[in-house]
Amino acid sequence: MIDEVQSTKLSNGISILTEHMPGLRSVTAGIWVRRGSRHETPELNGICHFIEHAVFKGTERRSAHDIAVESDRLGGHLDAYTTHELTGFTVKVADTGLPLAFDLISDMLAHPRFDDGDLEREQKVILEEIKMVEDTPDELLAELFNAAYFPAHALGRPIEGTAETVATFNRETTSSFHAREFMPHNFVVAAAGNVDHARLVELAERAFSNGSSANGATPPAASPTCTPVTAAPILIEQKEELEQAHLIIAAPWPSSLHDDRYAATMLASVLGGGTSSRLWQRVREERGLAYSVGAGVSTFSDLGVFSVYAGTSPAQLDEVLDISMEELRRIVNEPVAEEELRLVKDQAVSSTLLSLESSSARASTLARQEIIHGRRISPDEMIRKLEAVTTDDIQRVAKVYLVSENLALGALGNLNGFEVDRSRLEI
């Protein structure tokens, strides 16, 4: 594959990365901030997500309506999101619209107005978002489980914050955090599509030439967050009005930077990564016990979390738990068959190659790699690493990470009579 990625680092600390995609007349560009919910204190839980919302309410030279009109006129898609480790703002437009689109999102990040009335209205919007999570059982279980799994750590707190913390985000609090953390040295600018690298560098230099936020403050270097220590809770939450019971089984996992991450990804795929996976076939196809069942991985810069998830009727929850544990024991104690490993490798390689057709996926990947790895990881390198995984690698990772004392469980629903002791989580 021809690598058409270019990178530049400005004197104010901004990293700029572009990937030219021949044949396109569109470009996805964005600004990613090296700050997410794990960089917040308990009192400020949710403020990165709040700022993600608040910058759409207007800048020093644009009203909220102006932002909406300009976005629509560009004919593209303007989006923003917050995770535990970063906050992203992206826009996909025709290539001719890139200067206007970048001026729009850079203005939103560099010069937000943070009007008191706007902030009060946005607090109400986010409170409704929090209520939506409470009304969505799988998301609610995930938040309750994370709080128990990461006790006294930011990874255990909800990205959107709580009703109590969001209510305190007035102009002074919001402006102060923004001035300290949403600064050029924490920005990564990335774009993919029909983009000229030198032109994007010029646009970024113009937008952030003063190297400061709207109030001109220059922040000190941010202190790193502490490495989380995971617990191994058994969390049973009663919610009588639910028709289904929701189950999570989790274990510590390799981080985004760990050498074992490729083998760990293959292991998770074998267990529950698709319709041919072990859990899907046994729980859904053979027994008809669940509509939704699978396994996945959440990775951070210093650790990861593996989880099995299933939604089933309360009367079948014990059986789903037993089958899930049988499959965890099996992958620890028996080598994966070569043909099974070949299947998940093909799946992963195909997914990697298909993502190359999306300018949005490529721009996002450039930014995430810069923030997490500090370097470019090419598709060729990823495929080589995936192809190098052996059945011995998978069993070794299983034995290291799927350990009885580290397994955790969460369940939510009308669970009268459902009990779990640690003996049921023995590998």
Instruction: State the catalytic residues.
Output: 52
Q: Are 148 and 410 in contact (CB under 8 A)?
A: yes
How would you list the strands of the sheet with 245-253, edge to edge? 234-238, 408-413, 245-253, 304-312, 292-299
**Calpha distance 365→376 (Å, rounded):** 9
To the nearest 10 degrees (0 to 180), the angle between helices 47-54 and 116-134 is 120
**Calpha distance 74→229 (Å, rounded):** 46
Q: Are 382 and 369 in contact (CB under 8 A)?
A: no
Distances (CA, A) of 224 to 33, 38, 147, 221, 332: 15, 10, 21, 9, 35
Residues 6 or more apart in contact with residue 408 via CB below 8 angstroms: 145, 148, 149, 230, 231, 232, 233, 234, 235, 248, 249, 250, 251
**Which residues on adjacent β-strands are paired with residue 31?**
89, 189
CB atoms within 10 A of CB 46: 24
